Amino acid sequence: MNKTEAKARIEELRKQTEYYAGKYYDEDKPEISDFEYDMLMVELRNLEKKYPEFQSKDSLTQKVGGHVKEGFQKVTHEVPLQSLQDVFSFGEVEEFAQRIQKQAEENNIKEVKYVVETKIDGLSAALEYKNGKFVRGATRGNGLVGEDVTENLKTVKTIPMEIKDKIDITVRGEVFISKKDFEKMNQEREENEEELFANARNAAAGSLRQLDSKITAKRPLDIYIFNVQKVEGKEFNSHFEELEYLASLGFNVNPVRIPCKDIKEAEKAIQKIGEDREKLTFGIDGAVVKVDDLKFREILGSTIKVPRWAVAYKYPPEKKQTIVKDIICQVGRTGVITPMAILEPVKVAGSTISKTTLHNEDFIKEKDIRIGDTVVIQKAGDVIPEIVEVVKKKRTGEEKSFEMPKVCPVCGAQAVREEGESAVRCTGIECPAKLFRNLVHFVSREAMNIDGLGESIIQQLLARNLIKNIADIYTLKFEDIASLKKNGKKFAQNLVDAIERSKQNDLYRLITALGIRRVGVKASKLLARKYKTIDNLMNASFDELSRLDDIGPIVANSIREFCLEDQTIDLINRLKESGVNTKSLEEESTDNRFEGKTFVLTGSLEEFTRGEASEIIEKFGGKTSSTVSKKTSYVLAGEEAGSKLTKAQNLGITIISEAEFKEMIK
């Protein structure tokens, strides 16, 4: 490689690393694996070393990645929160030790001891205490300036709000999510059809950097402290001594901290951590080797980015080959059908892998995975096993292609993939796999509004086989409900009354409760107003539905497919038999004074809720929208109206007060 080529490659690598670092640090959405990113950094560092004339302070080899997120206050760190120099072999560890030994000899230091710790895979944070009380916490940011996340850190149960000594101290730790909690979080997100977290580190970072601390409080964050940044009135000789002191104060200190008398012992400690990493309850992305003597550390000093007295040994990702014995499908609680590879059991990173998710049919096609293929398995983030590639040269011709099922493997209802989505879904409303979620939605406030029939009660009813489908709600007996709670007679009577009241609901509530894909409350009201009875809706044609305002062909297709399902027809018949109303109760209005008009509601109203105001507008033939545009006819502005009011003013849209609205509806 000549100088011109080297310069071009360096510039290319800087752009790539900046982009991937932004995705990792700022957006918490990595696009490549840690190992792939590390290899790009190694190549960049080596090229800059070979061609020093092209070095730049703007290169990520010279600075810490990460920026302050908009919405957070900035915090300038009194002591910088530096990064660590990565090494990938024991040869590089030896080179590090040789540099340290040379400095030791020059300064007449006879022995060099080390401490080896796990490199926790999380987000670094500084905790500041005044007179023993926690006063401020900040993320690392770019090492010099971070984000004030004090309120969020207060929700982390393992951070003491007050320590045992009334001293001024700033400590550094790593906020993380345990392997078990991470798996549980992703399972819940999958069930709720939310995007999965790529790894535990990004889950922790995204949770800590929430602008609303209530969201952070719901996340299972933990922290391990691993360093004293600054302390008043205390002096320590060694890093290990510091850690023991921190533990005595009540801090949750990194549990893996191994004192080593020399570099050989340090290498053994690295190896031991690597062997035991699968047993750890938290994820790691390496082991850190630190010089123990704090005064010697001061002599060794630091670069702008990293200390010269420590390195991070990065374990290579372990990959193994195995065979795809079969591909089966699982149905989630929302009806998403997920393909799963059944593998010839293989041990990877300390655990035996016998199956792994294949996500969706696009993933299978992209990697061209077939039943019988030899594949390469890797554990992503030390937690999730995944297929990284197919070994196509080992194909025999007997491998079988896989197609997603056309019907649900659990209930036999139609399985559909809608335009613009990667997921295939079961459309059956009585599918056992979806039953819990369907029940929760059916009884919810915006649907049938059965007060008292919450998630925990539904779980108990299912566990006792008291209900096996939605219609069974209306056959529940008083004594069955009373048996769920100690002295449960009053509760049972209230719930029986609530179930009975729900039979008289308007048709739009029943349509909402059915949970038709893409049909919410607004569309349900439109359909109830148009068709008057559930039978008319069940018999509506695709062409007729698709011509309705705010419906269109995609929603019309969802409605039609849902209505044609045998399970839907069976449920409607059973609900009718139980006395559930299936007709619109809304009196037909001949007053269409708001026909062709679109209202946007903003701020708080005194005499109406937003729902009540919307119903009045719709009763008079108008429409409501959540966004202001040139097509908006009126903006109804209450107290403390926000950005929607400003936008309406800028667009010249008519703004009306609550009093003016009352005049319009007289």
Nearest to 383 by CA among 253, 271, 254, 285: 285
The residue type at 478: F
Which positions are annotated as active-site residues? 119
Tell me which residue of 607, 603, 599 sits closest to 641, measured CA to CA. Answer: 603
Question: What is the torsional sign of CA 502, 506, 511, 513?
Answer: negative
The rounded distance, in Å, linking the Cα atoms of 417 and 637 is: 41
Q: What is the DSSP letter of 415?
A: E
CA-closest candidate to residue 446, choices 538, 535, 519: 519
CA 481, CA 498: separation in Å to the nearest integer? 13
Please state, in angstroms and rounded to a whole number, the distance separating the CA atoms of residues 138 and 466.
51
Residues sharing a CB contact under 8 Å with residue 54, sequence separation 6 or more, in sequence order:
6, 7, 10, 47, 48
State how far the alpha carbon of 561 is from the alpha carbons of 58, 60, 276, 418, 441, in Å: 56, 53, 52, 11, 20
How would DSSP label each residue in 2-13?
-HHHHHHHHHHH
Rounded to an integer, what distance in angstroms lies between the CA atom of residue 23 and that of residue 44?
Answer: 19
Backbone angles phi, psi at 178, to 5 degrees: -65, 160
Q: What is the DSSP string of 248-288?
A: HHT--B-S-EEEESSHHHHHHHHHHHHHHGGG-SS-EEEEE
